[in-house]
Amino acid sequence: MLRECERKSNFVQRLALLSVFSIAGLAMLTGCAKQENTELQWARAALERNPQVKVLMVDVDKNSLQVRIKATGETLTLTPGELAAIPIGDLITLTGGPREPAPIVSIPPVPEAPAAPPEEQIPTPVAEPAKVEYTVQREDGRVLVTGPGVSIETHKPAAEVSSAPTQRFDEPIMCDGKRMVRIDNKRITVDGDAITARGGCELYITNSYITATGTAVMALDATVHIVNSELQGGDGSLTTSSAARVFLRTSKFSGLARRDPQSVIQDQGGNIWR
């Protein structure tokens, strides 16, 4: 009878110890899941949308992803911060793989703006823009520009009613849907809201000067990168919604910034707010 009681006591102790380990393991798995559901989940989704890249492994402990470039077979280990600092297409190009031309939203031509006052300097470009071959046709006062992923047609301006100089405005830009749009080395002036990104759009604004009587950039349910650019808006320089992800670096913002508390905004340094 004494030995039977000892066996039962040992069994109860082992069962209690096993329960403690199970609860601890479940807590660790829950913590990892929560970590992957933030930056790692976004980075993995962005990579899986690119047909030239295959995600091999997600390392939650190291906050990194292992991917393979399909064209070259090269394997890379990346972090969400590295993906935010460089477009996925540029990453593939740097590894020697081919790069398909990104779809570009058709926008009207940017008129040559008057020279900036001495105290207002246009940001110096951080990199030379890629050279792309375009075809320009002029007919009956109109200009047609065509090239890879671009089709722009201007309209003949209305007759001037007086010789007094007037402010010229560009059309607003809308990036809607799961596509990647790049605005590089542009000077854009819009009456109203200048640029709106929504519907899963991935927008890159680099080396550009954007002014608006409304809001310069509105980031809704989209991912927006703003690098080495200047944004100025009468109603605000930047507005974000709860589903927006915005990455900012070495840029200047003039005007009110309306940020939703649930939006993700990563200041990568060198930004000026006025």
Q: Does residue 116 or residue 62 have the better pLDDT?
A: 62
Query: Residue 202: which of 247, 169, 233 has the closest Cα?
Result: 247
- Per DSSP, 50 falls in state -
What secondary structure does DSSP assign to 108-130, as a single string? PPPPPPPPPPTT-PPPPPSSPPP
- Give the model's pLDDT for residue 52: 85
pLDDT score, position 131: 59
Predicted TM-score (pTM) of the model is: 0.43
Output the six-digit token pair for 89: 């297409």
Percent of the chain at pLDDT above 70? 56
Query: What DSSP designation does 170 have?
Result: B
Residue 221 has pLDDT above 90, yes or no: yes
> How does residue 14 score in pLDDT terms, banded at 50, 70 and 90?
low
Q: Are 40 and 82 in contact (CB under 8 A)?
A: no
The percentage of residues in the chain with a pLDDT greater than 90, rounded to a whole number, is 37
pLDDT tens track for 23-59? 444 444 444 444 465 788 888 888 888 888 888 988 8
3-state secondary structure 182-217: EEECCEEEECCCCEEEECCCEEEEECCEEEECCEEE
**What is the pLDDT at residue 116?**
59
Burial class (CB in 10 A: 0-12, 13-18, 19+), 253: buried
Examine the pLDDT at 77 and tell me if it is beyond 60: yes
Of residues 89 and 186, which shows the higher confidence score?
186
pLDDT value of residue 63 = 84
Task: Say if CB 269 and CB 246 are below 8 A apart.
Answer: no
105-109, 172-176, 252-256: least confident range: 105-109
- The number of angstroms, rounded, from the C-alpha of 183 to the middle of its chain's C-alpha atoms is 11
The secondary structure element, H or E, covering residue 5 is helix 2-35
Q: Is the per-residue pLDDT at 109 higher than 70?
A: no
b/e code 3-24 from CB counts within 10 Å (16+ = b): eeeeeeeeeeeeeeeeeeeeee
Backbone angles phi, psi at 5, to 5 degrees: -65, -40
Integer Cα distance of 175 and 198 in angstroms: 6
107-121, 169-183, 185-199, 223-237: least confident range? 107-121
Give the whole-angstrom CA distance, residue 75 versus residue 95. Answer: 10
C-alpha–C-alpha distance, residues 93 and 117, integer Å: 38
Between CA 223 and CA 68 the distance in angstroms is: 23
Q: Which amino acid is at 71?
A: A
Distance CA 58, CA 41 (A): 9
Are the CB atoms for 122 and 116 separated by under 8 Å? yes
Residue 79 has what pLDDT? 83
- How far apart are alpha carbons 44 and 55 in whole angstroms? 7
Q: Report which of residues 130 and 101 the model is more confident about.
A: 130
Write out the two tokens for 170. Answer: 């560009």
